[in-house]
């Protein structure tokens, strides 16, 4: 009977010790680092692969936040990505997952998930699909006017942005220009390369362009959208070096607190009864087998020492 009790005692001790060690390993694991391939065509983050993406038209960040990993790469270029890790940026280069590629391809082909109107000063607001359709697909026979692009350079204008399905990137589909108290729309995606500069933006250097005059039916909707436009500051969230969270962030603080609490309970407090039993019972004439009790005390003491060392070594 005594041998069976000892076996049960040792088994319980081993289980608790194993749980303590496994919990420590899980909590102490670090996030993977960002790595860029030698030819700079692929970006890796753990098991995730981002492929270099070259958009036909410039992309504008319209999301609320950018998560920044400073000095994550060997050449000290920053990596920015939104939290769901579909897109990443290294300098001016765009890297995307397979899901991100599909979303951006649809955006480049004119299949936006939503639309925004952005002023030349950066204020913006969402508009309905119906209003976007009236701008991009005017009725047959709509009145048009041919402009010298230089005449539009100083005109007030609003850019129509198509937004991809993740809501992070927008692409300029066209622009509404206010010229001589009339509103005109130019659909950029129907224009040739000669209308854009080397950065992909509409150029005012030379040439003529045809614009659609907006009807009286559209103008009230457009003016209502203008009043609803707001400045949306982009929040930059620094997640620290090598893609790990900054020590001050809530997630890592919670993980460390849980780790410390678990180690104190399972690593220091739990072995105390075994240590006491192992030191007291050998002196009892009724318990017998002092050698086994001393072994129990030794294992409990080693267990506590290991827990203390882990708490010191794990940052």
Of 277 and 196, the structure prediction assigns the larger pLDDT to 196
Beta bridge partners of 196: 202
Beta bridge partners of 7: none
The tally of CA atoms less than 13 A away on the side-chain side of residue 54 is 3
Of 288 and 139, the structure prediction assigns the larger pLDDT to 139
Q: 27-31, 161-165, 228-232, 311-315 — which is least confidently predicted?
A: 27-31
Of 308 and 201, the structure prediction assigns the larger pLDDT to 201
Question: Shortest CA distance to 176 belongs to which of 155, 207, 199?
Answer: 155
Reply yes or no on whether the pLDDT at 97 is more than 60: yes
Cβ-Cβ contacts under 8 Å for 197 (sequence gap 6 or more)? 203, 205
In this predicted structure, what is the pLDDT of residue 47? 83
Reply yes or no on whether the pLDDT at 25 is more than 50: no
In this predicted structure, what is the pLDDT of residue 148? 96
pLDDT digits (tens, 9 = 90+) for 236-259: 877 765 444 343 444 444 556 666
In this predicted structure, what is the pLDDT of residue 48? 87
| Mean pLDDT computed over every residue of the chain | 80
Distance CA 20, CA 273 (A): 16
């Amino acid at each position: 009977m005594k041998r069976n009790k000892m076996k049960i005692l040792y088994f319980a001790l081993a289980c608790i010790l194993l749980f303590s060690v496994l919990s420590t390993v899980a909590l102490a694991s670090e996030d993977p680092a960002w790595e860029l391939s030698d030819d700079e065509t692929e970006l890796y983050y753990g098991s995730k692969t981002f492929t270099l993406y070259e958009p036909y038209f410039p992309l504008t960040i319209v999301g609320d936040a950018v998560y920044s990993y400073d000095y994550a790469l060997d050449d000290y270029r920053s990596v920015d990505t939104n939290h769901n890790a579909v897109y990443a940026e290294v300098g001016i280069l765009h890297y995307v997952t397979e899901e991100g590629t599909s979303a951006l391809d649809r955006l480049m082909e004119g299949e936006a998930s939503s639309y925004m109107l952005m002023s030349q000063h950066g204020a913006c607001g969402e508009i309905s699909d119906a209003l976007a359709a009236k701008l991009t697909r005017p009725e047959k026979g709509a009145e048009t006017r041919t402009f010298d692009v230089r005449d539009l350079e100083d005109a007030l204008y609003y850019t129509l942005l198509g937004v991809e399905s993740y809501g992070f990137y927008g692409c300029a589909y066209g622009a509404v220009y206010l010229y001589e108290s009339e509103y005109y729309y130019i659909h950029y995606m129907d224009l040739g390369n000669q209308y854009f500069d080397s950065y992909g933006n509409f150029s005012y250097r030379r040439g003529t362009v045809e614009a659609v005059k907006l009807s009286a039916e559209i103008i009230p909707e457009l003016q209502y959208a203008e009043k609803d436009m707001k400045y949306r500051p982009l929040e930059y969230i620094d997640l620290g070096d090598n893609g790990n969270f900054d020590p001050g962030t809530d997630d890592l603080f919670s993980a460390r607190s849980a780790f410390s609490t678990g180690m104190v309970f399972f690593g220091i407090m739990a072995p105390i009864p075994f240590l006491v039993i192992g030191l007291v019972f050998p002196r009892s004439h009724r318990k017998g087998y002092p050698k086994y009790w001393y072994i129990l005390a030794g294992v409990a003491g080693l267990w506590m020492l290991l827990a203390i060392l882990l708490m010191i070594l794990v940052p």
